[in-house]
């Protein structure tokens, strides 16, 4: 299906200026959705493509109905609600709590997922453990987040509780203000903090509220029963067939893996160590088609960008290659950072090309990373276990659950390569996903046509082709 993404100005001109209600998608063939820019709902990713949990789910709904899809982006809550009330959009998808939608007399779709509501504080300060610990503190929250009713109910029992409500602020800005000391604590949804925590190692969860928020889509009050039924049927099927679970895994499945020390480590070492190796990672991107920031994330996970790293098991170098892998990839000196990085990129590209063509991204990359850590044979064993357990051997969400079983026995009837520390491969992949997220945020992409700072060695490209490794693998 074709997806039309309007820039914000274009959206305002097309939909805002004319002010006409959106015709029913059953008649126009186009679903118009209101949203706000946030990591949990809708944003533009590093490839310039729309992304986000709710974006992917809405796209799947639109495709299921053979409709085109248009987005109206509004970053002020009231502006978004206005679009719904005036039926300029068919629905709003912006991390909307069920109780907030109901309070506005709008139609609520089925529950997509539930998120806790958190009190977040600075690690350098004394940790508040209960509501009374917030008395006299500067507390921040966002208008339109749905947290006001919760706080008002708490205030009946805790009259000394006070807070400041901010308008037109994204969750990340709220966290920035907490980090900078404007607030002593903030109230924020778990879904928003989980996707931002890797950028704020100074912050941590103090405690959760007792009640959670149920996240839904909002529809105009006079939405037709037929349209509401389409939404309900789709969401029910998406829960049943695992669509929601798979999309949730893509955006949320890895975000709690790192602790504050891990996050602080890469943030501190990035300006110290990465600059001298950046040209090698970018050269490796030219050869492999794999985003240099993903390769750098692997290098950090393996050695913290230390070209002289050596493990007790004999793997060594910045990308921690075994002697066998180094020989296979043509690496003469594993402690040479350029050779190590290019060898690691070659190996990952080879592993990706070795997987069945039907496996799509990003699962293809995550599975290849597991093979990078444990070997292709053990990865295929984990895929067989996933299938034996009723899962999809081509899906990372199912294989990641099977990997730890490689060390526990019980599946010898389907495995071929025996014992493996599959839990290490799981940790390896999930850590890299987090480090990659951080580098995507902090490091610019590399376009060799426009900003190639040094020519790749033609001999290395020739060697690459002689090794039988494709240099045109699609980037992740």
Hey, which residues are catalytic here? 302
Residue ranges of the alpha helices (H) in 132-242? Answer: 148-157, 171-179, 190-196, 225-240
Burial class (CB in 10 A: 0-12, 13-18, 19+), 297: buried
- Hey, CA dihedral for 47, 52, 58, 63, is it positive or negative? positive
Q: Are 193 and 175 in contact (CB under 8 A)?
A: yes
Eight-state DSSP code of residue 332: S
CA-wise closest residue to 227 among 22, 66, 25, 2: 25
- Four-point Cα dihedral 432, 436, 437, 439, nearest 10: 140
Structure tokens at 185: 């604590």
**What φ, ψ does residue 347 adopt, rounded to 5°?**
-65, -45
Alpha-helix runs per DSSP H in 241-259:
243-252
**Separation CA 94–CA 390 (nearest Å):** 33
DSSP characters over 407-444: GT-S-TTT-SS----HHHHHHHHHHHHHHHHHHHHHS-
Task: Say which residues have a Cβ less than 8 Å from residue 305's Cβ, sequence separation at least 6.
Answer: 269, 273, 274, 277, 296, 299, 318
The Cα–Cα gap between 300 and 201 comes to 17
Which long-range contacts link 382-385 to residues 24+ away (Cβ below 8 Å)? Answer: 382/406, 382/422, 382/425, 384/411, 384/414, 384/415, 384/416, 385/411, 385/414, 385/415
End-to-end CA distance of the chain: 22
């Amino acid at each position: 299906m074709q997806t039309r993404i309007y820039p914000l100005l274009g959206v305002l001109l097309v939909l805002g200026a004319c002010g006409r209600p959106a015709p029913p998608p059953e008649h126009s063939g186009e679903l118009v959705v209101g949203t706000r820019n946030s990591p949990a709902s809708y944003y533009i990713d590093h490839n310039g493509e729309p992304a986000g949990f709710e974006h992917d789910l809405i796209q799947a709904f639109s495709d299921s109905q053979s409709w085109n899809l248009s987005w109206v982006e509004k970053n002020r809550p009231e502006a978004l609600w206005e679009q719904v009330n005036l039926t300029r959009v068919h629905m709003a998808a912006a991390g909307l709590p069920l109780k907030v939608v109901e309070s506005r007399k709008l139609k609520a779709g089925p529950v997509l997922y539930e998120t806790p509501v958190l009190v977040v504080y600075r690690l350098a300060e004394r940790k508040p453990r209960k509501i009374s610990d917030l008395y006299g503190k500067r507390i921040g929250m966002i208008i339109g987040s749905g947290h006001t009713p919760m706080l008002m109910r708490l205030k009946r029992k805790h009259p000394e509780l006070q807070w400041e409500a901010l308008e037109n602020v994204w969750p990340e800005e709220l966290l920035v203000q907490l980090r900078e000391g404007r607030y002593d604590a903030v109230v924020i949804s778990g879904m928003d903090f989980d996707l931002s925590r890797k950028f704020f190692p100074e912050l941590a969860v103090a405690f959760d509220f007792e009640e959670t928020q149920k996240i839904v889509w909002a529809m105009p009050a006079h939405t037709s029963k037929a349209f509401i039924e389409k939404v309900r049927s789709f969401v029910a099927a998406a829960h049943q067939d695992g669509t929601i679970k798979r999309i949730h895994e893509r955006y949320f499945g890895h975000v709690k893996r790192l602790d504050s020390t891990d996050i602080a480590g890469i943030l501190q070492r990035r300006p110290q160590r990465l600059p001298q190796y950046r040209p090698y990672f970018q050269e490796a991107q030219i050869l492999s088609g794999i985003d240099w920031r993903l390769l750098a994330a692997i290098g950090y996970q393996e050695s913290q960008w230390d070209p002289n790293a050596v493990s007790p098991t004999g793997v060594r170098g910045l990308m921690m290659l075994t002697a066998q892998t180094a020989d296979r990839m043509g690496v003469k000196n594993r402690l040479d950072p350029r050779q190590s990085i290019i060898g690691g990129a070659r190996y990952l590209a080879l592993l990706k090309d070795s997987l069945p063509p039907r496996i799509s991204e990003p699962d293809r990359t995550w599975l290849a990373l597991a093979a990078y850590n444990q070997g292709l044979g053990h990865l295929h064993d984990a895929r067989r276990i996933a299938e034996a357990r009723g899962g999809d051997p081509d899906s990372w969400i199912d294989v990641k659950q099977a990997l730890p079983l490689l060390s526990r026995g019980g599946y010898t009837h389907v495995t071929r390569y025996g014992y493996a520390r599959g839990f290490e491969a799981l940790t390896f992949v999930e850590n890299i996903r987090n480090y990659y997220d951080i580098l995507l945020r902090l490091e610019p992409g590399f376009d060799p046509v426009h900003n190639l700072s040094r020519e790749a060695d033609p001999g290395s490209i020739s060697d690459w082709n002689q090794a039988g490794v494709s240099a045109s693998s699609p980037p992740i």
